[in-house]
Amino acid sequence: MRIGSPAAMALVLFMGLATSAVAQRPSERSPRLPVVDDSAWWTGKYKPRDAEWQTVERRSYYVSMRDGVRIAVDVYLPKGLDPTRRLPAILEQTRYYRSTEKDGVCSRSNRAEWFAQRGYAYVIVDVRGTGASFGSRNTEFGAVEVKDGGDIANWIVAQSWSDGKIGATGVSYVGTTAELLLVNHHPAVKAIAPQFAGTDFYEEINLPGGVRNERFIQAWGLGNRTLDAGRIPDLAGGGVPCTVAGIEGAALRTQAIADHSANINSADAQTTLMFRDDSGPGGIVIGDRSTYTQRAAIDRGNVPTYVIESWYDIGYGQGGINRILNSSNPNQRLLIGSWNHGGNYYYAPGIVERTRPAFWIDEELLRFFDAKLKDIDTGFDRDARIRYFTSGVNQWRATQSWPPAGLAMARWCFAANGLLDRNCERTAGTDSYAVRADPQTGSTSRWDTALRGPVNYPDRRDQAAKLLTYTTPSLDHAMEVTGQPIVHLTMTSSAPDGNVIAYLEEVRPDGAVYYVSEGLLRLSHSKPGKKPYRTLTPGHSHLRADSLGDVSGKRLAIDFGMLPLSHVFAKGSSIRLSLAGADGTRFAGTAGGATWQVFRGGAKLSRVDLPAKPSN
């Protein structure tokens, strides 16, 4: 495995909690990197609490589950805590080692230390079949793992330091475990904050639009396989899961890791999966592991829930919107920023290098948990239900419902000479496109950030010759687009199948072309159908029975949504829609060499509808 490969990146980044002991806001972590001011809307009105304690101690335990399997647990507490003092707990359940040991030293979680200094017990757990915990796993987010969360909650409230209140949070996998904790309906769980976590793993990361995200599937599978073997290779930083303190800690860790040899690997489980209802080893269906399938159980208790997502974190911004559209929980809130996976880097159209945000998520989590677990008036309960960041003007916006008021679909039809035209009757015709395998978005795209890297897209003007492009005239006023654009294509393909990738781009007056959003669809999956939850875009079931099979030569009418965004296109810029059949080697099923015929002319043929309004 070569250094810098996606596999090596996965191993480095899946170390997860192997971070420095000193918490820092993102803008201070890399002094040489540029910083964008996306400071919180409450800046100057609310001040996060200072630390009550300067030092923190970490204790480790094995906690037995209802079936006797022992789970490794770390607890961070203020050092010197008065024995009569009781604290609320914040729980993280991770698949990526609660702590990594290297050269005899165990890493400490900066977030856990920061919260413990402010009067919380912070509990981090190696979920069953991972890290130093015993047991094995036949799937991710399995029913047994979810029930373990209830056992851990029972253990927490029985501790002498517990005040009986529990919150849960985490990024990515750990965010999903926080949400699934609610399935147990444990009375002590009073608030959760899933961060950068999906609701539909089929649609938002593994097979968006039925297009297989092969690079991620393989890299994540390799990362999990390596972690389950109990040692991170030196080229990825090195380390083993930290032991549970005690004279037999190393021996118990060895026994636990031996249990993990029975784990079913995530990539192996998806080797043949293409449709939502396909099953892997043990008959497990990929869709059944997503939280949308548990929505009624998750919402039943109306537990205060603060979901934190990003427009540019794989497809999870879409997941955040779909979650709140389908939730019956009146206490659910949503925050959508303009960051990478994890919120450590900022992205907006025109950002071509690593850039830090001013916004610090830990402070926002403190505002939420202080309100819900400590009954401190932080202003959180008076805030809007949804906050979202609009790039181009760099503003936080507020709305009580989605979509926000004031937007209307602006129809731009494909026209001759590569134009997007508001007059859909002006020109009719056909555009031919020879599908190429070499278009690409680079190695720091929204799909790469699933491994926690930064998001930035280079100037894409050199890609235009590889794509089928349609561009508006220069805008005579700034235009805000917020929500999900909808692409309508009438086309044929000479290939039996293939992928359609539609890019929304901003063309600046100097000719630079910057990525704004994209949408994907597998041609054989393009039959209109119902998704298993409410959305604001045309649906496709992605069920095997609804496959169109061989589509070669068939005239297809394809409707699909692009990933959501909120961006103001500047006056003098143009809006471009570009079509491709490939993004390098990222997605499986690229039909290089195929020829498309795209039909235009008339409002019923090819066009893009933008949820837009004029902007000042």
Whether residues 325 and 412 share a domain: the answer is no
Residue 24: pLDDT above 80?
A: no
Q: Residue 472 phi/psi, 5° resolution? A: -75, 160
Q: Which residue numbers are catalytic?
A: 172, 313, 341
pLDDT at res. 230: 95
Per the structure, the count of domains in the chain is 2
Q: What is the pLDDT of residue 235?
A: 67
Same domain, residue pair 138 and 51? yes
pLDDT digits (tens, 9 = 90+) for 357-404: 999 999 999 999 999 999 999 999 999 999 999 999 999 999 999 999
Which tens digits make up the pLDDT trace of 207-260?
A: 999 999 999 999 999 999 999 999 887 767 789 999 998 878 999 999 999 999
Q: How far is CA 465 from CA 18, 34, 462, in A?
A: 43, 31, 7
* pLDDT for residue 428: 87
Q: Which of 399, 432, 456 is the last residue of a domain?
A: 399
What is the reported pLDDT for 238?
86
Q: What confidence category does residue 5 fall into, taking pLDDT thresholds of 50, 70 and 90?
A: low
Residues 6+ apart with CB under 8 A from 340: 310, 312, 313, 346, 347, 449, 452, 453, 454, 455
Q: Same domain, yes or no, for 115 and 206?
A: yes
What CATH number corresponds to the domain at position 352?
3.40.50.1820
Tokens of 81: 């805590």
**207 in the same domain as 140:** yes
Amino acid (one-letter) located at 156: I
311/337 Cα distance (integer angstroms): 6
414 and 395, same structural domain? no
pLDDT confidence band for 12 (50 / 70 / 90): low
Enclosing domain of residue 597 = 408-614
Final residue belonging to a domain, choices 399, 418, 452:
399
pLDDT single digits (tens) 29-65: 778 899 999 999 999 999 999 999 999 999 999 999 9
Q: What is the DSSP string of 172-227?
A: THHHHHHHHGGGG--TTEEEEEEES--S-HIIIIISGGG---HHHHHHHHHHHHHH
Please, what's the b/e burial string for 305-328 (b: 16 or more CB within 10 A of its CB; e: otherwise)? bbbbbbbbbbbbbbbbbbbbebbe
| Closest-CA residue to 16 (of 359, 234, 256, 342) | 342
88 cis-preceded (ω within 30 degrees of 0): no
Predicted local distance difference test score (pLDDT) of residue 451 = 83
Does one domain contain both 264 and 168? yes
Query: Is this prediction's pTM over 0.75?
Result: yes
Q: Model confidence at 20, in pLDDT bands (50, 70, 90)?
A: very low
Residue 205 shares a structural domain with residue 289:
yes
Whether 1 is in a domain gets the answer no
Same-domain pairing of 130 and 224: yes
Mark whether 558 and 413 lie in a shared domain.
yes
Reply yes or no on whether the pLDDT at 285 is more than 50.
yes
According to DSSP H, which parts of 330-477 are helical? 361-373
Claim to verify: residue 450 and residue 588 sit in the same structural domain: yes
Q: How confident is the model at residue 11 (pLDDT cuts 50, 70, 90)?
A: low
Residues 348 and 415 in one domain: no
372 and 483 share a domain? no
Q: What is the mean pLDDT of the chain?
A: 93
